[in-house]
Amino acid sequence: MKLFVDVGNSRLKWLLLAGNDSKEILYARKDSIPITDLQFPKKTIEETILFKQIKKNISYVNHQLGNKLSSEKSCLKTIVWICVSPKLIEKKVIKILERLYGQSPPKKTVTPEDGKFNFIGGIVKGEGKNYFEGEDINGGALVIIDFPIISNDFTISPARLEGTNISYPLFQRGIDSDPNKTLLILSDKVSQNTAEISYYFFNRQIEVYYTYFGLNVDYSGIITYEDTFIDTSNLENFGSGANFTNQRFGVLLDDTDFRRDPRIGYFIKIDRWEWPKRYPQESSQYQYDFELTGYIPLIDMKLIMVLNQFFSTSKVIESGTVNRNDYICSQEQLFLYEQCQNILDEYYERDLNESKKGRATSLGGIERLRGYPEGRFFDEHTNFRAIELRYYFNPIDIKFDLIFAKGLLAEFQLAGFYDQGTVSPDLGENLWKNFKDTRGIGLRLITGSAVSRIDYGISDEGGETIIYWDYPF
């Protein structure tokens, strides 16, 4: 007998054939079970639905054909199988096939997804407000994930992001910083090029990687707390534009069931960033990030508790040089903006402080403290922890077939989360007090190639809506 098994994203399907001639094919049996029946079974192999169903199918075919089958054909002699499910499911299927087959099953057939790479792209357009009134805000991004260089274990992931008429806040340092003391930086154009090279070991359980970041910004001005605009194009060391580069080296230990959408296991991630000077007044520094995430199934594999602990620290290599003369408004600027010198005086004090201190990974935004804006809190050290409860709805099995990927629009997920974090100028007791927290909900869309999410977090400063791809952790 021949057994064909297809282990998909949502269901496990099989076909049992007694032989190849037409009479024998008439007695073929096929069936399927949901993948959820294998995700967290508290049963022996013989008690699993898959094992019992296939054994039942074999007995049925033998009964229908009676003595028409030779002894060679009356037992399972051939298995052909493919698998696109998580590692946890694949391991369970192998054990069941071993018991049915009487020996180690053959290696799985290479699936259509092997060797494929994924890409994410999009374009956004909107109407400018405030100082971009009447102008269009445009943005675009293209991200290619795990494009194989030599083999599937040696990949590159390039990305290009570009936007026009972009503004972003510049907050004060420290966990107790005043949100009202925020400068708004305006730029006519922002572009970023990124490339990450990865090498995987031990069935992708260990990854080492190098990432290069290149950022170009064309500045147009600053908006003060009093809603005053200051033209920065003529300010030395700020200028009309700047090019920034930095790089990252890292290692990831992944002991989860499925890296794209983990439901059980843990991963450990360690990063070392190198931040060179962008301006003379800035310091040059190293930054180290340490992250531990655990995934614990609570109700089979439908409700998952996710725990995350993150630390970040910085070390200044070279202090910056702050020249007071670079923070003097021109007569023309003073004529146009009365508060020009006041704001540059504050800028001077900020840069004088920043020139001697490092910056760890900030809190706020898409990953940590999701109820605050991006970059809201920063200092020399960061301590963050979070818990998420992720509930998976039943698979919806909507097929898609694109140029670079194909599979199923697998599942929807509803998540509730609680984030807690602080930043500190030292590694003492300040790193373990004055925590800020956010709570919120999220909706995730899980496909065969990526996870898209919408998260909404609430904090003591309001709320933030995040639309992004991939999990925060």
- Quick one: which of 66, 82, 116, 110 has its CA closest to 12? 82
> Is the residue at 163 inside a domain?
yes
Q: Which domain holds residue 248?
A: 118-380
Please tell me whether residues 93 and 124 are part of one structural domain: no
Q: Which residue has the higher pLDDT, 422 or 344?
A: 422
Give residue 28's pLDDT. 76
- The C-alpha angle 32, 37, 39, rounded to 5 degrees, equals 125
Same domain for 129 and 234, yes or no, is yes
Domain-located, residue 182: yes
pLDDT at 75: 73
pLDDT at 120: 66
- Does a structural domain hold residue 458? no
pLDDT score of 400 more than 60: no
CATH, residue 22: 3.30.420.40
Alpha carbon 445 to chain centroid, angstroms: 13
Residue 437 exposed, middle or buried by CB count within 10 Å (0-12, 13-18, 19+)? middle
The pLDDT assigned to 380 comes to: 95
**Looking at the predicted structure, is the pLDDT value of residue 404 above 60?**
no
Per-residue pLDDT at 142: 84
The answer to whether position 423 is within a domain reads no
Shared-domain flag, residues 67 and 145: no
Per-residue pLDDT band for 276 (boundaries 50, 70, 90) equals confident
Lowest mean pLDDT among 27-36, 260-269, 420-429: 27-36
pLDDT of res. 112: 47
Per-residue pLDDT of 95-138, as tens digits, reads: 898 888 888 888 877 554 444 556 666 666 655 555 555 566 77
The answer as to whether 341 is a domain residue is yes
Averaged confidence pLDDT in the chain: 82
> At 281, is the pLDDT very low, low, confident or very high (cuts 50, 70, 90)?
confident
Domain annotation covers residue 87: yes
The pLDDT of residue 125 is: 65
Greater confidence (180 vs 308) lies with: 308
The reply to whether 167 falls in a domain is yes
Asked if residue 469 is part of any domain, the answer here is no
How does residue 445 score in pLDDT terms, banded at 50, 70 and 90? confident
**Model confidence at 326, in pLDDT bands (50, 70, 90)?**
confident
Mean pLDDT score, 196-206: 89
- Claim to verify: residue 79 and residue 166 sit in the same structural domain: no
> Whose structure tokens read 């194989």?
148
Instruction: Report which of 286, 285, 293 is spatially closest to residue 310, judged by C-alpha positions.
Output: 293
CA–CA distances in Å: residue 51 to residues 4, 107, 200: 14, 19, 34
Residues 206 and 318 in one domain: yes
The pLDDT assigned to 241 comes to 64
Q: What does each C-alpha distance from 106 to 58, 98, 101 come to in angstroms? A: 19, 9, 10
For residue 362, is pLDDT > 90? yes
Which pLDDT belongs to residue 403?
43
pLDDT tens-digit readout, 233-266: 655 545 556 778 899 999 999 988 777 888 888 9
Stretch 160-164: mean pLDDT, rounded?
Answer: 88
Q: Tell me: pLDDT of 23 over 60.
A: no
> Does residue 168 sit in the same domain as residue 29?
no
Q: Does 350 lie in the same domain as 304?
A: yes
Does 336 lie in the same domain as 243? yes
Based on the domain organization, do 60 and 164 belong to the same domain? Answer: no
Among the residue ranges 78-92, 93-107, 457-471, the one predicted with the least confidence is 78-92
Residue 411, pLDDT > 80, answer no
- pLDDT of the residue at 115: 46
* 152: pLDDT strictly greater than 70: yes
Looking at the structure, tell me whether residues 78 and 127 fall in a common domain: no
pLDDT at 113: 46
Total domains in the fold of the chain = 2
- Which of the listed residues 380, 399, 433 is the one where a domain comes to its end? 380
pLDDT at 236: 52
- Whole-angstrom distance, CA of residue 33 vs CA of residue 29: 14
Give the pLDDT confidence score for residue 144 in this predicted structure: 84
Q: What is the predicted pLDDT for the residue at 66?
A: 66
Are 43 and 155 part of one and the same domain?
Answer: no
Q: How far is C-alpha 83 from the chain's CA centre? A: 24
Neighbours of 442 (CB within 10 A): 20
Residue 214 banded pLDDT, cuts 50, 70, 90: very high
Q: Where is the domain boundary, 380, 398, 421?
A: 380
Decide which of 56, 73, 101 is a domain's last residue: 101
Q: Give the pLDDT score at 21.
A: 59
pLDDT in tens, 365-399: 999 999 999 999 999 999 999 999 999 887 665 55
Please tell me the predicted confidence (pLDDT) of residue 114.
Answer: 45
User: Is residue 150 located within the same domain as residue 29?
Assistant: no
